[in-house]
């Protein structure tokens, strides 16, 4: 009986891992961050996520999908090369953004001819660059210069894309391309932008942006991505939380299993104006920009790690998220604890999984937070019930492998590799994991991190 239960347990875990998605975003602007903040396709761990979305491509004046950065197509090769290591990994190209402040979707969706041109170009481009699908990241239909009719035109685009993807799969005998969308979390925006039932029936999965609920544009501190409303919320702010946003998507007809909860690897910052420094404290703008993301208003998780080494950390019990404050700076962010509360919540609601904004704002090398590489996303993986990743060292063969044996009998933790300072060992339950520092960096045991030589 005990054996049968074990087998059932294993089957349940396997089932969960195959039906649950952990979709991770990367951005092509993270390559311009200085020093240890620089992130490219080479920093991707092929076994971390089920899907990776490359942000961002655009739409040119011929209504064709087109790259933005000079090296996007080189990064596509490196990104999709990770599928050699993990053939189960899926990649999608995200299209969106603005040109001169205007979404390129507005012109493209306006006629059947221009939509057809886009769809044809997208299929050809995705196939050429070995992507598994397309992600629509229009912020938002019927907003920011887009007329109200774009709500309906967005639905038409989604339907026509899926039809064309079906035809392409038949013609090419390849696996059908996936279609997802990154969509609003704010209730008024959802109402104006989407025919929820119609688009949900067509899309493979839906990335709800359940973050940016509060930020420095408000006159008092509030959390970026709270699970529930807080007692200081009044008026429409009572809906600025995950619980309200996802409930609204479901009420409008989105199947829970297609909804992915947006989880943040960043926090939003404020400049306090009085000695009050709790939730709802008066503020007038953002704290200083982070040294790596260099944009006032938010800090990556690894920048938050540097801040909390001298700041005071607090937990907001009613919202299940942390904030930290020091001097006049205040940041509401996510950590392992809040992510685990969110995983419990999304599991309870039978959502399809999570999408992470972004890989490049987690401590992707393990330089800053003393939690190994990708501390947030690795913890998400574990709490979501995915099986352990394959070890990065080969299995011991008949001849004793000193690297694979390194952790035998050692406590869990990080260790220097005396034979190669550009790598280091992570010991976990007696198993040895060999990690590599980012190019140019070496491992320092004094900080248990990679840093300049």
Ligand X SMILES: *[C@@H]1O[C@H](CO)[C@@H](O)[C@H](O)[C@H]1NC(C)=O
Interacting residue ranges for ligand X, rule: CB under 6 A: 228-229, 243-244, 247
- Closer to ligand X by Cβ: residue 317 or 453: 317
- Closer to ligand X by Cβ: residue 152 or 187: 187
Q: String of b and e for 393-422 (b: at least 16 CB within 10 Å)?
A: beeeeeeeeebbebbeeeeeebbbbeeeee
3-state secondary structure at position 432:
strand
Shortest distance in whole angstroms from residue 309 CB to ligand X: 32
- Closer to ligand X by Cβ: residue 24 or 343: 343
Distance CA 446, CA 137 (A): 43
Shortest distance in whole angstroms from residue 261 CB to ligand X: 14
- Closer to ligand X by Cβ: residue 176 or 243: 243
Distance CA 445, CA 453 (A): 12
Q: String of b and e for 54-83 (b: at least 16 CB within 10 Å)?
A: bbbbbbeeebbbbbeeeebeebbeebbebb
3-state secondary structure at position 167:
helix
Neighbours of 327 (CB within 10 A): 11
Q: Which residues are CB-contacts of 87 (< 8 A; sequence separation ≥ 6)?
A: none
- Angle, nearest 10°, between helix axes 375-383 and 336-348? 30
Q: DSSP E strands: which ranges in 29-68?
A: 51-59, 65-66
The secondary structure of residue 49, as a DSSP letter, is: -
3-state secondary structure at position 36:
helix
Shortest distance in whole angstroms from residue 406 CB to ligand X: 47
Q: Which residues are CB-contacts of 422 (< 8 A; sequence separation ≥ 6)?
A: 436, 437, 441, 442, 443
Shortest distance in whole angstroms from residue 230 CB to ligand X: 10
Shortest distance in whole angstroms from residue 164 CB to ligand X: 37
- Closer to ligand X by Cβ: residue 344 or 405: 344
Distance CA 328, CA 269 (A): 10
CA angle, 407 then 409 then 411, to 5°: 75
Shortest distance in whole angstroms from residue 208 CB to ligand X: 14
Q: Which residues are CB-contacts of 446 (< 8 A; sequence separation ≥ 6)?
A: none
Shortest distance in whole angstroms from residue 384 CB to ligand X: 21
139 in catalytic set? yes
Of 73, 139, 218, 313, which is the active-site residue? 139
Distance CA 428, CA 446 (A): 20
Distance CA 391, CA 177 (A): 30
Shortest distance in whole angstroms from residue 256 CB to ligand X: 13
- Closer to ligand X by Cβ: residue 127 or 337: 337
- Closer to ligand X by Cβ: residue 204 or 320: 320
Specify whether the CB–CB gap between 92 and 132 falls below 8 A: yes
- Closer to ligand X by Cβ: residue 17 or 187: 187
Shortest distance in whole angstroms from residue 328 CB to ligand X: 31
- Closer to ligand X by Cβ: residue 25 or 240: 240
Q: String of b and e for 255-269 (b: at least 16 CB within 10 Å)?
A: eeebbbbbbbbbbbb
Task: Tell me which residues are annotated as active site.
Answer: 139
């Amino acid at each position: 009986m005990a054996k049968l239960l074990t087998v059932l347990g294993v089957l349940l875990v396997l089932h969960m891992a195959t039906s649950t998605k952990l979709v991770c975003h990367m951005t092509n602007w993270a390559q311009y961050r200085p020093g240890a903040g620089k992130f490219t396709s080479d920093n991707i761990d092929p076994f971390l996520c089920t899907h990776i979305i490359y942000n961002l491509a655009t739409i040119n004046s011929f209504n064709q999908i087109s790259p933005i950065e000079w090296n996007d197509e080189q990064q596509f090769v490196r990104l999709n090369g990770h599928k050699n290591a993990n053939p189960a990994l899926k990649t999608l190209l995200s299209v969106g953004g603005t040109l001169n402040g205007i979404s390129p979707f507005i012109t493209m969706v306006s006629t059947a001819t221009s939509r057809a041109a886009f769809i044809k170009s997208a299929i050809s481009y995705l196939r050429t660059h070995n992507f598994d699908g397309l992600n629509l990241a229009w912020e938002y239909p019927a907003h920011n210069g887009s007329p109200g009719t774009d709500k309906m035109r967005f639905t038409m685009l989604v339907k026509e894309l899926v039809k064309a993807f079906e035809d392409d799969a038949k013609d090419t005998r390849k696996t059908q391309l996936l279609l997802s969308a990154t969509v609003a979390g704010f209730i008024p925006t959802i109402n104006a932008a989407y025919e929820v039932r119609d688009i949900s029936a067509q899309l493979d999965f839906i990335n709800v942006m359940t973050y940016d609920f509060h930020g420095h544009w408000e006159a008092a501190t509030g959390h970026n991505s709270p699970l529930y409303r807080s007692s200081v919320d009044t008026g429409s702010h009572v809906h600025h939380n995950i619980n309200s946003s996802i409930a609204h998507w479901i009420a409008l007809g989105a199947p829970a299993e297609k909804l992915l909860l947006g989880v943040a690897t960043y926090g939003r910052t404020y400049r306090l104006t009085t000695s009050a420094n709790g939730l709802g404290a008066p503020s007038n703008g953002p704290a200083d920009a982070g040294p790596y993301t260099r944009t006032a208003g938010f800090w990556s998780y690894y920048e938050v790690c540097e801040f909390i080494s001298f700041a005071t950390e607090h937990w907001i019990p009613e919202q299940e998220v942390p904030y930290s404050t020091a001097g006049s700076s205040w940041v509401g962010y996510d950590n392992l604890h809040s992510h685990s509360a969110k995983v419990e919540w999304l599991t309870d609601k039978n959502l399809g999984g999570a999408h992470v904004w972004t890989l490049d704002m987690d401590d992707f090398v393990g330089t800053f937070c003393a939690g190994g590489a990708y501390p947030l996303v690795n913890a998400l993986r574990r709490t979501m019930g995915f099986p352990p990743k394959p070890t990065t060292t080969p299995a011991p063969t008949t001849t004793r492998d000193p690297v694979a044996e390194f952790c035998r009998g050692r406590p869990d933790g990080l260790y220097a590799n005396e034979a190669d300072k550009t790598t280091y060992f992570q010991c976990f339950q007696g198993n040895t994991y060999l990690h590599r520092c980012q190019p140019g960096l070496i491992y320092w045991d004094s900080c248990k991190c990679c840093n300049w030589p």
